[in-house]
Structure 1
Amino acid sequence: MASKFESSIQRGCDFIHDFACSPCEEDGLNTEAQHFCNLCTKYYCDICVTKHNGLYKRHSVLDRKDVKKWAAPPGMVDVLERCERHPGEALKLVCGDHDQLCCHVCVAVDHRNCSSIQHIPDVAKGIRKDPEFRQLPQRVAVLRKQIEDMINDRKKNSASLRKTRTTIVDEIKATRKKINDILDKMVKTTVHDLDRLVADQELSIQKDMESCTQMDDELKNIIYDIQSKDSSGEPPLYIGFRKCEEIIKQANELLQNMSSVVKYEITFRKHNEIEDNLCSVTTFGELNDSNVFCKQPRTSLFPRDHVFATNGYKKYNVKISSDKGKCDIRGICELPGGEIIITDYNNMTVKLLDQEYRVVNHCDVPKYPFDMCHIGGNEVAVCVNNNDNRCELHVINITKGKLVTTRKLSLFHRCFSAAHHGNNLYISSNTALYVYTMTGKLIEKLYEDKSVMRIAISNDGKTIYTTNLSKNQLITLDNLGNKLATFTDPDLLGSWGVHVTTAGHVFVCCYNSNTVLQVDKDGKTKLATLARRQDGVYTPQAVFFSSRTSSMVVGGWKDTLRVINVR
């Protein structure tokens, strides 16, 4: 048994390495390489590279940081074509059912029941002429620039945080100094009052002692005089007696008056509220994390069953000089940085608003833009229609405050609403709900009805909400397209826009009743009518809950957005 164990150690383990150490391999060992020599064209582990460097001091050796520059050994699969799940296998096939690249092992293990398995050389024909492939370098360049900008922003953010920390610490120290000054003043005042009281008491004690001493001297002197006159006759003794009686009377009165004060003392009763108040406060102030890139938006501060109430509203004009008509806002979404993007159907434009709801940039689209959705980072997907079946989904990127269309997905049906979850896009055609991949490949028709207006998806992807304009309904579906609930209400006339927050709160805006409603997560009950026409809401078509400001942004057939504060 021992010999077998030792030989196993010598042979090395059976792991499959992307690069094996060349000297170890010659000795029958299987050791992962950590270095590559361009001149020797050999791979070395950490032990063997030390021997190599001792023999060839002028050779250039690359470590794992430059692994992309290593030459692939004969018979090894190129890094680009290598299967990540099965490193020893090359990607030769593509599964259309899952839109996934596969090797033969992948197909045998995970895709044996799939109906659309194609050979990559067949699918790859004409790839150089594919518009998306030709745009790939530009898209990657744009994305890398965004990543670079993000890194720079984070560096600035880090420096800003450190500066903020210093400022806050200085403010804490200043507050501490003020508190110390107040306490020092309190100590000084209290000690001054104590010293005054002690001085008054000591003065009284001194007066008592002086009076007693004086009375004692008088008594001593009078009794001495009487005793010295004993042989002088009775008249002097009588006079001495009378005087002594008077002094005794004065002494008794003095002692009686002084006995009313048994003891001079000072007591102290501290103000407990000072200590209690300080103990009840554990910090010098509240520290608030105001990250705008937070994974848990502020809606998560409200329980999922929280019923909102309005707390006033403001209106913001979004009309720009190039607009040819009244604004018709049909889509609203918020970027991670707090910027708002809206679609203006009537003026065929997409507008970028800053955090103060001022239009800072816009880009025109060829035809009428409807709904939109955020698909990640600073990208949104906008539904663009030509009032026929020639419709597209435009992917627009926001770079340095500019709206740039980076790609377009052609659809065989109309495109009224879009939602994004996971790696899929959900598109409403007004008569059906379709599911697409991010590259525009149709996966399935999930649901069909005569009117599927707008759609919204819960954060977990399990619940889909869709408005039915013609029937004044909110339909709730599961992620398989099964209908879970149908909601109607007198305030739900012309149900148009629908939005669900990360925490699961559902809002619906209604075109004909000029209302914004909150509906429960099951899509069965109205929880509140949050806004009506008297609140400035007129023909609303789009509603969005801003996690940054805890407010609802409502748009419609008007030149202004309504931003309704809620609590």
Structure 2
Amino acid sequence: MASKFESSIQRGCDFIHDFSCSPCEENGFNTEAHHYCTQCTKYYCQNCVSKHDVLYQKHALFGRKDVKKWEAAPGAVDALESCGMHPGEALKLVCADHDQLCCHVCVAVDHRQCSKIHPIPDVAKGIHRNIEFQQIPKKIAELEKQFELMKEARMKNTTSLKKTRTAISDELKTIRKKINEILDKIEKATLQDLDGIIAKLEKNIKKDIKTCDQMTIELQNMIAAFQTKSKSSESKSYIAYRKSRDIISQANDHLHGISTIECYNVTFQANNLIEELLSSIKTFGAIEEQTVTIKQRKDPLSDPNHVFSVAEYKEYNVKMSDDKYPCNIHGVCEMPSGEFVIADGNNSKVKLLDKEYRVLDHCDVPGNPFDVCHIDGNEVAVCVNSELHFINASKGKLVTTRKLSFTHDSTAAAHHGGQLYISSGTALYVYTMSGQKVKMLYEGKSGERMVEKCAISNDGKTIYIINYFKHQLIKLDNNGNKLALLTDPDMRYPTGVHVTPAGHVFVCCELFNTVLQVDNDGKKKMTTVVRKEDGLNSLQDLFFSSRTSSLIVGGVKDTLLVIKLN
């Protein structure tokens, strides 16, 4: 035998009403209400309202034209009991299949097939004795307090952001002032050159004018003397003749010397390099959004001085069938997709590897690629002799798109903030993406391989370089000032340096085949991660994958060594 509840669902399931008749609903029927009684605080259909009127002739009723008064009436469904899906309908039921509160409309529309639907009064029995129910006010109060604290923190954050904006604005003004001072000096020097040339030419003009005046006077005196003496004795006339001839000759010489220069003039050829450099720079610096998250426990990947230990080693063969020589991996970088690009110096190839370090594709380069760095998106840059080759790695293929040429060797490359950092082996330069040299950031003082490789911190404020022959790791600021210098017995002939996004610093070395972890300050070795006995050979470069928490190490070997770190 079906329950009263089940029959009510069957008899009223096809109709959705904003207000249902209260007496009908109590008897298991879903009937649309047309009247509301403010004193009974109940809804009535046409049939039930007639019975109501017989019993309560003096009660005030609102019809459908006053339905807005129904919603505001004391008997209307309050916000707590109102169905979120069907406003105006009261929550009367619980669907245990979906663990969801329902009104009659919810059941009729969305829960026809559900078998475990119970009236709320049945489920709610004993709720006041439920410990979890009793703790609700406390939990709500705690959450309210947390939201108040969060609001207060956000308001303070707003104030701090305004202060940050002011501070950065002041820094921009300082930069602008320095640039203006530099431009003022350039302008002053140019004007000094101009004034010097103008003064020299004016001096020449004054000299010519003075010569013209002197010769005019002498010629006038001579013509007067000649006219007077020519009427005297022949001897005097002869003397006047001879002197006149000398003056005329002298005057012709002066006139010829002066007339060879039609006029003095000054031209100006603007140095377009200044405008080109300024035009290539879009902003005074990189402005980056930073989000400081609250962590329940310290995440080692976010602590720049967390000391890693080795979990396991694995080797992956990267030799191709047409490689003529053993692979010599000079450069490694990871793509956003999780694929890797490596530079094989011995075989003059750039190779694309999948996430399992299998070779997907390669492209040949005209020389030994000495380093590779990720630029943006699917683009990498590869150092080849005195050139930088840009290669697109997409859909499992490598395609060379363009190249830049330098007047020096290109042995290492890094990218940050829309600028390229290129090592020549002896110095570190900064270039625009179009190949315009911005400045020489740092220069070694004693021969080759003083700047073997370079790495830049995630915020762009710190640069690490390695000096191969002096066995040094050098830390610079972004103006090229030396901040720290590290030497260590395990760091012999360093060939690769890498900085993770969190600031962990790793260095690989060729002689002892060691990989060192260095503290973020660049002042001390924290640990020697691996040594020669681990099977490495003539290490050349390394890269830390935050995705897998692994060091990918390359050297003179046909395999990459992947070191999983704890």
TM-score tier by shorter-chain length is: 0.3 to 0.5
TM-score w.r.t. structure 1 length? 0.48
Q: Tell me the TM-score normalized by structure 2.
A: 0.48
